[in-house]
């Protein structure tokens, strides 16, 4: 008969948090991370459990000092019924971590429970007292020395021939003894779950307000340029991240002209995403924008204003990029020897060569992947820690899995935003393998049912534990929905939805000036797109939406509940063009009501789920409109609203407690 493998006596089921394919779950520095597991064991004994976590050990890289394994930390998990144990941990430094659940047959707790039952049944307890004394002696070494005296006294009383049975029973059931032995791991039977990964990010990876602008339209990056003045305005409006499209040299071969025409005039500036020229590639700065020293000064000024710079990371090349000359093996070559340009039918990008991430030779793949990684290292060395990644779904998932872990292993503060408007499976996979946050389908969700269904999916869907949304009403590539030829009220409405439906949101410059002309009826791009020409805008227009965007950002900062997407709840409204949703966390409760019709007044009755918000069903309570400053008295049941888009898109109501 063959030998039997040493199985554990306890089975672990339904451990959280884990992702579907066992990549790292995500959390934010300082936030409570919910840990849970279901424990299964034969018999009727009491099971106890704890969670252990530590920084993931990593081998030192070239030039790095050897790193010691981080010591395990532990915290208790509490029985919530049905074999389920739950608890929370909080981690105060960003980085890659691992955790495991440990469980054991709690012999002392089981003995104590059974002792009480036997005493109530009138059983003889002499033998039970000796069993308890031995258990306490066995577990005492795991208790701090200063507290062992109480345990020794209990052992002595349990074994005493002179103490009465009630006294000995009292020693066995002493709550102070039980408290000292609570969560002490029984060395005779402890089982450990598989380890699971946990990525802890700093807060900006999960919540913040982004503003995108093209520095070349504002005179470059040099100190004294209009770009520096824009920084003052963006910071005053409460944005957290200044996102810059590629700032690298632009190729001249097949350069695109204005409105994406194939023939560029001598003065056409080309697309920033056609990266590379004789002046350099992904690590160079376009000479019209400034120098690397100007970039560092710009990044430092952004930091002084309480923001961060996000830089576009676009892994593609113009035909003039140094890589195209030096490494043709990194591209797809056609039978005639030419290199295939990029396409996303029906869009064509004749000015861009896509990179082939799977060259024929493995050594070429390694060199390419490391070169792409080194681009990030270059910009990290110059102060950039946030990267908006262009079209990551057109590059191998394996590349992102390797590259993100490699970079974040050395630079835990680095954040990656995935610009992947593609199939949900790919978007979720990119989030699983390491992207900190992701663009979403919000841009195309316009009807009430679409918005609410999508909000529920983001807050509580299968990917909610690792897919962090960033909602953008517009991008340089996308002018969609009611913004196309839409009135200013449409922009206010979409901004209000984006800013209040998720912890992260962003806008592309020109949004606040209601730029709304599509390139054509069947094209989502802008007419006179800034991707192909410089834009001159009047930022001082009196009708600018920037003060409204600033108010939205201030509301978000003033209400911590809005930073936690899991608390999003939709409420019934008797109008198909009015949506109502809330955030509730601790003493902070916010109710958002939006008229999604930007041209018509809408009236409705809002029926809040008062029990979910901790509000009274009977009697009144005050709500304060964070936009207008008005205060209203609301009641249980329905409350009437009248929303005129000419006045504003809706209400953001904080409950006065």
CA 479 to CA 249: how far, in whole Å?
27
281 within 8 A of 248, measured Cβ to Cβ? yes
Residue that finishes a domain, picked among 125, 150, 185: 185
- Model confidence at 244, in pLDDT bands (50, 70, 90)? very high
- Provide the pLDDT for residue 186: 85
Catalytic one of 218, 294, 390, 406: 390
- Provide the pLDDT for residue 212: 98
Catalytic one of 100, 240, 419, 452: 419
**Residue 154 and residue 44 share a domain:** no
The count of other CB atoms within 10 Å of the CB of residue 31 is: 17
Query: pLDDT digit string (tens) for 79-104?
Result: 999 999 999 999 999 999 999 999 99
**Residue 168 and residue 28 share a domain:** no
Q: Which helix (H) or strand (E) holds 497?
A: helix 488-500
Residue that finishes a domain, picked among 160, 185, 210: 185
CA 408 to CA 411: how far, in whole Å?
5
Residue that finishes a domain, picked among 147, 172, 201: 201
- 51 domain residue, yes or no: yes
- 19 domain residue, yes or no: yes
CATH number at residue 173: 1.20.58.80
**Residue 121 and residue 63 share a domain:** no
- Provide the pLDDT for residue 62: 52
**Residue 98 and residue 13 share a domain:** yes
The chain-wide mean pLDDT, for the chain, equals: 94
**Residue 156 and residue 124 share a domain:** yes
- Provide the pLDDT for residue 29: 97
Q: What percentage of the chain exceeds 90 in pLDDT?
A: 90
The count of other CB atoms within 10 Å of the CB of residue 277 is: 23
Is residue 66's pLDDT more than 60? no
Domain that holds residue 57: 1-105+190-201
- Provide the pLDDT for residue 6: 61
**Residue 68 and residue 195 share a domain:** yes
**Residue 19 and residue 130 share a domain:** no
- 133 domain residue, yes or no: yes
Is residue 65's pLDDT more than 60? no
- 588 domain residue, yes or no: yes
- 194 domain residue, yes or no: yes
CATH number at residue 589: 2.60.40.1180
**Residue 620 and residue 573 share a domain:** yes
**Residue 196 and residue 63 share a domain:** yes
**Residue 85 and residue 164 share a domain:** no
Residue 515 bears catalytic tag: no
**Residue 72 and residue 112 share a domain:** no
Query: pLDDT digit string (tens) for 95-128?
Result: 999 999 999 999 999 999 999 999 999 999 999 9
Instruction: Domain count for the chain, please give it.
Output: 3
- 58 domain residue, yes or no: yes
- 45 domain residue, yes or no: yes
Query: pLDDT digit string (tens) for 354-397?
Result: 999 999 999 999 999 999 999 999 999 999 999 999 999 999 99
Report the SS3 class of residue 387.
Answer: strand
- Provide the pLDDT for residue 339: 86
- Provide the pLDDT for residue 57: 84
Query: pLDDT digit string (tens) for 296-316?
Result: 999 999 999 999 999 999 999
Is residue 268's pLDDT more than 70? yes
Tokens (6 digits) for 176: 């102070």
- 554 domain residue, yes or no: no
**Residue 99 and residue 121 share a domain:** no
CATH number at residue 40: 2.60.40.10
Q: What percentage of the chain exceeds 70 in pLDDT?
A: 97
CA 542 to CA 560: how far, in whole Å?
31
Residue 574 bears catalytic tag: no
- pTM for the whole structure: 0.93
Q: Where are the alpha helices (DSSP H) in 327-447?
A: 362-381, 397-410, 424-433
């Amino acid at each position: 008969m063959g030998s039997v493998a040493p199985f554990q006596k306890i089975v672990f089921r339904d451990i959280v948090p884990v992702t579907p394919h066992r990549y790292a779950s995500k959390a934010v520095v300082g936030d409570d991370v919910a840990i849970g597991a279901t424990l299964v064991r034969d018999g009727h004994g009491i099971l106890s459990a704890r969670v252990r976590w530590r920084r993931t050990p990593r081998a030192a890289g070239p030039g790095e000092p050897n790193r010691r394994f981080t010591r395990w930390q532990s915290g208790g998990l509490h029985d919530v019924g049905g074999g389920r144990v739950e608890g929370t941990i909080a981690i105060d430094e960003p980085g890659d971590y691992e955790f495991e659940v440990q469980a054991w047959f709690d012999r002392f707790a089981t003995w104590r429970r059974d002792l009480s039952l036997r005493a109530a049944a009138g059983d003889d307890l002499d033998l039970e007292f000796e069993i308890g004394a031995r258990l306490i002696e066995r577990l005492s070494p795991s208790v701090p020395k200063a507290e062992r005296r109480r345990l020794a006294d209990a052992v002595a009383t349990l074994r005493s021939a002179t103490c009465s049975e009630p006294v000995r029973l009292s020693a066995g059931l002493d709550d102070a003894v039980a408290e000292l032995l609570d969560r002490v791991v029984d060395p005779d039977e402890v089982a450990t779950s598989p380890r699971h990964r946990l990525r802890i990010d700093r807060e900006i990876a999960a919540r913040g307000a982004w503003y995108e602008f093209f520095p070349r339209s504002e005179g470059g990056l040099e100190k004294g340029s209009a770009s520096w003045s824009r920084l003052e305005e963006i910071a005053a409006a409460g944005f957290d991240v200044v996102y810059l499209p590629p700032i690298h040299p632009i190729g001249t071969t097949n350069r695109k002209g204005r409105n994406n025409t194939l023939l560029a005039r001598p003065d056409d500036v080309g697309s920033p995403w056609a990266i590379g020229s004789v002046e350099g590639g992904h690590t160079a700065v376009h000479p019209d924008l400034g120098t690397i020293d100007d970039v560092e000064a710009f990044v430092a000024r952004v930091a002084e204003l309480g923001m961060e710079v996000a830089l576009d990371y676009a892994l593609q090349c113009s035909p003039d990029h140094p890589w195209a000359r030096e490494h043709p093996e990194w591209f797809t070559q056609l039978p005639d020897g030419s290199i295939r340009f990029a396409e996303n039918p029906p869009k064509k990008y004749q000015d861009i060569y896509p990179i082939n991430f799977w060259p024929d030779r493995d050594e070429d793949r390694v060199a390419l992947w490391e070169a792409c990684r080194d681009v990030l290292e270059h910009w990290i060395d110059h102060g950039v820690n946030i990267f908006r990644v262009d079209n990551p779904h057109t590059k191998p998932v394996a590349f992102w899995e390797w590259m993100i872990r490699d970079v974040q292993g050395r630079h835990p503060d680095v954040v990656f935003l995935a610009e992947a408007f593609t199939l949900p499976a790919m978007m979720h996979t990119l989030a699983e393998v390491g992207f900190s946050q992701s663009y979403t389908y919000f841009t195309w969700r316009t009807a009430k049912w679409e918005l609410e269904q999508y909000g529920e999916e983001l807050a509580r869907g299968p990917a909610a534990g690792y897919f962090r949304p960033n909602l953008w009403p517009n991008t340089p590539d996308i002018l969609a929905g009611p913004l196309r030829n839409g009135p200013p009220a449409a922009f206010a409405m979409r901004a209000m939805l984006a800013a209040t439906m998720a912890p992260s949101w962003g806008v592309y410059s020109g949004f606040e000036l209601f730029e709304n002309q599509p390139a054509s009826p069947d094209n989502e791009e802008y007419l006179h797109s800034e991707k192909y020409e410089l834009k001159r805008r009047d930022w001082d227009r009196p009708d600018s939406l920037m003060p409204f965007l600033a108010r939205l950002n201030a509301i978000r900062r003033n209400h911590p509940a809005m930073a936690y997407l899991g608390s999003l709840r939709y409420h019934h409204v008797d109008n198909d063009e009015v949506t109502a949703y809330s955030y509730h966390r601790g003493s902070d409760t916010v109710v958002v009501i939006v008229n999604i019709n930007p041209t018509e007044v809408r009236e409705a009755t809002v029926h809040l789920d008062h029990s979910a918000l901790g509000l009274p069903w009977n009697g009144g309570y005050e709500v304060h409109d964070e936009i207008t400053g008005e205060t209203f008295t609301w009641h249980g049941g329905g409350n009437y609203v009248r929303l005129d888009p000419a006045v504003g898109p809706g209400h953001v109501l904080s409950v006065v407690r």
